[in-house]
Copies of this chain bind each other. A is one copy, B any other.
């Protein structure tokens, strides 16, 4: 995945990715500039293009990495509720990835790495759902679970839950929320 040989810089690909995640995390994807990333890495302004082709390519790589990380997190989930909690935790721990992953206008949807990673994450999600739901439509249940976790995570990242959540740990709030809905 990161198998780029080191050279002048060492591992420019990783360095640019890390810097990009930093910028996106604090100022959003709109503030991303390839030339700025090059400056941060101490290389010439066109060096990043060699690894990512262009700006869209960089964002696509970030999205793919995000789906991979998410898939790995969900794979270890213990039950559907834990999967949801992990989904929320992922969004908080990797806000930059999360923001880019669900913005199709920012990446190249036909990218193979992105497609595979997205499918992997989707499979993990479906596994968690089918293992937990015994009655009714599992497809619908999947949409419900995903919508709930995704909506909560998104509203959290966009500072729309500062009132209701307050000082409490967001993961606890989410747990309380699922408890209320699914009664357990």
Query: Is A6 positioned at the interface, with any CB of B under 8 Å from its CB?
Result: no
Q: Which of B27, B136, B155 contacts A146 (CB 8 A)?
A: B155
User: A13-44 CB contact bits vs B (8 Å, 1 = yes)?
Assistant: 00000000000000111110000000000000
- Which residues in chain A, 134-152, are within 8 Å of chain B measured between CB atoms? 136-137, 139-144, 146-152
Q: Which one, B103, B104, B143, B146, contacts A173 given CB within 8 A?
A: B143
What is the CA–CA distance of A14 and B29 in the complex, to the nearest angstrom? 27
Contact at B150–A154, with CB atoms within 8 Å?
yes
Assess the B151–A139 pair: CB atoms within 8 A. no
A30 in contact with B149 (CB, 8 Å): no
Q: Which residues 142-180 of A have a CB within 8 angstroms of B?
A: 142-144, 146-152, 154-155, 158-161, 164-165, 173, 176-177, 180
Secondary structure of the A side of the interface? helix
Q: How far does the alpha carbon of A72 sit from the alpha carbon of B27 in the complex, in Å?
A: 31
Could you say which of A29, A137, A160, A182 has the most chain B C-beta atoms within 10 Å of its C-beta? A160
How far apart sit A168 and B160, CA to CA, in the bound complex (Å)?
Answer: 30
In the bound assembly, the distance between CA atoms of A146 and B154 in angstroms comes to 11
Please, which residues of chain B bring their CB within 8 A of the CB of A177? 140, 143-144, 147
**Which residues does A use to contact B, with CB under 8 Å?**
27-31, 102-106, 136-137, 139-144, 146-152, 154-155, 158-161, 164-165, 173, 176-177, 180-182
Beyond A29-B105, A154-B154, 9 extra complex contacts between A and B, CB < 8 Å = A28-B103, A140-B176, A143-B152, A143-B164, A143-B165, A143-B173, A147-B152, A148-B151, A151-B154
